[in-house]
Structure 1
């Protein structure tokens, strides 16, 4: 059975215990015993690990093969929503409140904070960084694709905090920045979608917004939900300084006619 899974991981990841048993010509009980024998609490835990492994290896063409573009649009819509609900449920069941609290403690430090993403994850990094600017100051949002990010990290104070948001498939530039951050001695928080994320090896703190499905291009729902929680929790810890910070922002918006206002 192990040989079959190693040879056909992209098939095995979608198989039920019955289907895997039939493919390997064994009983379902043998599948259950095999999974328990290699250290997993259940078949779903084994499938999640296999899913994470397969996701990091799949190319765009591989993902295209999984996408059912021939199905009616309504079917694809319902499937997309259903998969995101599964992802949110997995996030709800898997995240450690203590680990999330520890990350918020780091984000609340009165030191420079850099939020970094690249390619797909830059969208989530920008969302996190932009949202936190409404709660606290001294935040810089940076792209891993911009080589000047190396300069900014290098000249930042030694007690700085860096947050790297990394989503499958993982750009090598984020791995290099994680390594650089570790060498500089900054505190590094990694927020990712997969326990196999290669940036995790450099993290002081990390959170994983697990995904139950292999996306065609990306699945931002769980990640954005986690970011919302972090920002809300960070805001709850600011006390009276939060109102002062936001009043300053609102004054600037009004003076510079930044946002639409019905009264104007």
Structure 2
């Protein structure tokens, strides 16, 4: 929580704060996302009129997402245009789509999520996050629902390279273990929304016990980012089938893979030895 943080810029930053904005500020954000190429040439007065808000609301919006004012936001948006990194919008899955269309759309959604998450990781404190993992006595992955599945995958990966790792996806187990943690332990909180009440209850207990906290989320400014020592942002444009958490789950898995490989590379020889041992014992489980 005291570490210097890096934040995404331009469109990715707006998206990461979108769910935390007040209604008027969200109208500004939505107009910018839909018309960013136009916005970089607009005065604050014209943007306010287009978004049907006051000029003061535009300024508050800019400050809410971490810029000093409208001029700095325009500079960042202009850099996005020059680098060709504007967000591509893909078609949503419709009821009458053929299976070939669904295949195309879902992989476009995944590609979009992966590419933007990649940019966010390069702008994050990823090395600091890997150091937290390497130096932790024990690592606990907290998550619920689809994020819980990612937590369980994380436990399997890190156990295979001899980390003391455990996934906790039940609130009572999370709270019990959180109360027994120390400053040598790390909790990796996985939550796309960053607003799950049960998760925050467990994290507050872990924080009071002195544990370090790493957050993997797509929502900057959410409660989980306020309590975390290190934040790793994902980008996930979901389909109308939001309950399936398609893009968010894939983005979270990608971040975990980066952490896993970063930690593994730090102790390369020990990692290979551990992987060889686990591979040998699992070979007998295969049907020949």
TM-score (norm: length of structure 1): 0.72
Equivalent residues in 2 for 1:142-221 (5 A)? Answer: 142-143=168-169, 145-168=170-193, 170-211=195-236, 213-215=237-239, 216-217=241-242, 218=245, 219=247, 220-221=249-250
Q: Give the structure 1 partner of residue 282 of structure 2.
A: 253
Q: CA RMSD in A?
A: 3.6
> What stretches of structure 2 of length at least 5 have no aligned partner?
1-21, 40-44, 63-68, 81-91
Which moved further from structure 2: 132-141 or 213-222? 213-222
SS for the counterpart of 1:42 is helix
Change (3 A) 1:94 1:173: same
Check whether the contact 1:193–1:223 (CA below 8 A) recurs between aligned residues: no
Contact 2:141-2:168 at 8 Å conserved across structures: yes
What do residues 213-246 of structure 1 show as CA deviations (whole Å, max 9, x unaligned)? Answer: 2443211222222221111111111133223323
What is the distance in 1 between the residues matched to 2:229 and 2:116? 23
In the TM superposition, what are the counterparts of 1:1-264 in structure 2 within 5 Å?
5=24, 12=31, 15-16=34-35, 37=70, 40=73, 41-42=76-77, 68-96=94-122, 99-143=125-169, 145-168=170-193, 170-211=195-236, 213-215=237-239, 216-217=241-242, 218=245, 219=247, 220-254=249-283, 257=284, 259-262=285-288
Q: Any stretches of 5+ residues in structure 1 without a counterpart?
A: 21-25, 46-65
Offset of 1:249 from its aligned partner? 2.2
- Note the alpha carbon deviations across 1:67-126, whole angstroms, 9 max, x for none: 532333332332222222222221222223661111111111250111111112111111
Q: Deviations over 1:180-201 (max 9, x none)?
A: 1111110111111222332111
SS in 2 for 1:190: strand
Whether contact under 8 Å (1:135, 1:234) holds in the other structure is no
Corresponding pairs, count: 230
Question: What secondary structure sits across from 1:129 in the alignment?
Answer: helix
Cα drift, residue 172 of structure 1: 1.0
SS at match of 2:125: helix
Give the distance between the partners of 1:71 and 1:207, measured in 2 at CA. Answer: 34
Whether the aligned pair in 1 keeps the contact of 2:171 and 2:198 (CA below 8 Å) is: no
2: CA distance, partners of 1:17 / 1:97: 21
